[in-house]
Amino acid sequence: MSGLIQELQWRGLIHTIMPGTEEQLGKEMTTGYCGFDPTADSLHVGSLVPIILLMHMQRHGHKPIALVGGATGMIGDPTGKSAERNLLDEETLDKFIKGIHGQLERFLDFDESKPNAAVMVNNYDWMKEFSFIDFARTVGKHITVNYMMAKDSVKSRLGADSTVGMSFTEFTYQLIQGYDFLHLYKTMGAKLQFGGSDQWGNITTGTELIRRVEQGEGFAFTCPLTTKADGTKFGKSEGGENVWLDSNRTSPYKFYQFWLNQSDDDSEKYIKIYTFLNQNEIEELVQKHKTEPHLRQLQKRLAEELTILVHGKEELDNAIKASEVLFGKSTTEDLKSLNSNTFLAVFEGVPQAIISKEELNSGINIIDVLSEKSGFLTSKSEARRELKSNAISVNKEKVGEEFNLTTNDLLSEKYVLLQKGKKNYFILIIE
Ligand SMILES: N[C@@H](Cc1ccc(O)cc1)C(=O)O
């Protein structure tokens, strides 16, 4: 039961903590919650820390509630935003809620026979029947505008340097999140809320409401927002795209690579934050890493643990296999085992040409394939020369001048991988 805060502290997961929170957690099984607004149909790596916090809670015997913000998603959290956001339409929101719900489910234990079974709620369920008049009378009356205006999320939009101002809609956001905490306190006995450090303002509006309406006490802590040693933004791939938890948006291979590419400094910090390895295991790993940094053991372990956590063991194995394909240690069989998404992710940026299926049916000689059909090599004579010197592979297998490419050579029924020497790749897409 106890020890949760201590553990979060050495992992670097505590930013601010409300007095009494550690005592509360040491005293009894505590119900605590964290909310996720549906701003896309998938969560991205930025949401992993709150998810992991929910998991730590449950591992320490407390009861986690994951809240999906169906109602708050309709308003839009102004926290950290310098300008008013566009409202999402209901159909889009519905899709987003479903996506996020399905993802959160995977990380927690919902087995109701256990006292600390996780629970998933959607704040739309209690907000949808709340009339404006009721809300204004029963919630709004307890919080002054002066109090609300003192929050950073509001202050930054009222100052002289803000040209955009803030709508009444976004201004009310903190009251809705605050009411969630009050509602969960009353109906499910939730005494704790946590989130990223930027959520402190919204969370304390909740503890304030609990105090004023119920004469009760709510507790809270926040975790630091993940930063990178080089100052760039955490959560983007090499190409600058978001790294999502949904494998259709970010392939497990890319996800694996994202963690593998972290710097030494960052991975030393992240291994504590993002994995469940204990202090001894981590210290040992860090020591090993310091003596042989070129082996990138920290990065590898980080990438392994997270890929398993988010995508499972099978996808981790695929991701490792895919990573080896690019570095030449793999066979045709390994290449064939990649699914189409992973194949494209591994060979992202490799030049491509399209060939029609009919043409391939009767077979095309490799010299033509390499030269005029693809443009991979500049001429037939260059193709002959490279083939003679044994430099050309098709799907990782060396071929000679007599080789004919046919539909039997397709990977994922669609691709052929051409290679000259070690590192020059070319992809044929057959349509
Ligand atoms: N405001 C939180 C999400 C949230 C919504 C409702 C809550 O009750 C709690 C948290 C965020 O943007 O990350």
298, 286 contact by CB (below 8 A): yes
For a pocket test of ligand 1, which of 31, 33, 36 has the largest count of ligand atoms closer than 8 A to its C-beta?
Answer: 36
Q: Cβ atoms within 10 A of the Cβ of 191, count?
A: 25
Q: Where in the chain is the domain with CATH 3.40.50.620?
A: 4-223
If you measure from the C-alpha of residue 23 to the centroid of ligand 1, how many angstroms do you get, rounded to a whole number? 25
Please state, in angstroms and rounded to a whole number, the distance separating the CA atoms of residues 350 and 115. Answer: 53
The CATH 3.10.290.10 domain(s) of the chain lie at 352-430
Residues of the chain with CATH 1.10.240.10: 252-329
Contact 205, 143 (CB under 8 A): yes
| Nearest-angstrom CA–CA distance, 98 and 215 | 36
Atom 4 of ligand 1: nearest residue by CA position: 35
Q: What are phi and psi of 330, to 5 degrees?
A: -115, 170
Whole-Å CA distances, 147 to 13, 166, 202, 214, 294: 28, 16, 12, 19, 53
Ligand 1 pocket check for 262: Cβ under 6 Å: no
Maximum distance among all alpha carbons in the chain?
87
CATH superfamily of 252-329: Tyrosyl-Transfer RNA Synthetase (1.10.240.10)
DSSP state of 215: S
Tell me which residue has tokens 């929170």: 21
The CA 205 to ligand 1 mean position distance, Å, reads 12
Helix, strand counts (H, E) of the chain: 22, 13
Q: State whether the beta carbon of 38 lies less than 6 angstroms from ligand 1.
A: no
Report whether 260 contacts 266 (CB < 8 A): no
Q: Find out whether 177 is annotated in a ligand binding site.
A: yes
- Ligand 1 within 6 A of 72 CB? yes
Give the pLDDT score at 144. Answer: 97
**Length in residues, the chain:** 431
- Ligand 1 atom nearest residue 173's Cα: 1
Pocket test for ligand 1, best of 48, 67, 177 (most atoms within 8 A of CB): 177
> CB 401: neighbour CB atoms within 10 A?
13
What is the fold, at CATH topology level, of the domain defined by 352-430?
A: 3.10.290
In what helix (H) or strand (E) does residue 65 lie, and over which residues does it extend?
strand 63-68
pLDDT of residue 238: 82
Model pLDDT, residue 1: 53
| Superfamily of chain region 4-223 | HUPs (3.40.50.620)
Structure-token pair, residue 263: 């710097």
Amino acid at 136: A
- 30: tokens are 């505590």
Taking the CA of residue 180 as reference, the ligand 1 atom at the shortest distance is 8
Q: Please state, in angstroms and as integers, the Cα–Cα distance from residue 409 to each residue in 289, 326, 338, 404, 429, following that order.
A: 42, 19, 14, 10, 12
The CA 221 to ligand 1 mean position distance, Å, reads: 14
- φ, ψ at 57 (rounded to 5°): -55, -50
Q: Is 24 a known ligand-binding residue?
A: no
Strands (E), 344-423: 352-355, 364-365, 392-394, 397-398, 404-405, 415-420
Q: What per-residue confidence (pLDDT) applies to 2? A: 63
CA 97–ligand 1 middle distance (angstroms): 13
Tell whether ligand 1 has an atom less than 6 A from the beta carbon of residue 67: yes
User: Tokens in use for 403?
Assistant: 């080789």
- What's residue 34's pLDDT? 98
Distance CA 122, CA 96 (A): 12
Structure tokens at 322: 């895919």
Q: Are 325 and 346 in contact (CB under 8 A)?
A: yes
Q: What does each of the 431 residues of the chain score in pLDDT, given as a tens digit?
A: 569 999 999 999 999 999 999 999 999 999 999 999 999 999 999 999 999 999 999 999 999 999 999 999 999 999 999 888 888 998 999 999 999 999 999 999 999 999 999 999 999 999 999 999 999 999 999 999 999 999 999 998 987 777 789 999 999 999 999 999 999 999 999 999 999 999 999 999 999 999 999 999 999 999 999 999 999 999 998 888 999 999 999 999 999 999 999 999 999 999 999 999 999 999 999 999 999 999 999 999 999 999 999 999 999 998 998 888 877 667 888 888 888 888 888 888 899 999 988 888 889 999 999 999 999 999 999 999 999 999 999 999 999 999 999 999 999 889 999 999 988 999 999 99
Q: Is the CB of residue 266 below 6 angstroms from any atom belonging to ligand 1? A: no
Asked if residues 200 and 219 have their Cβ atoms less than 8 Å apart, the reply is no
Neighbours of 279 (CB within 10 A): 11
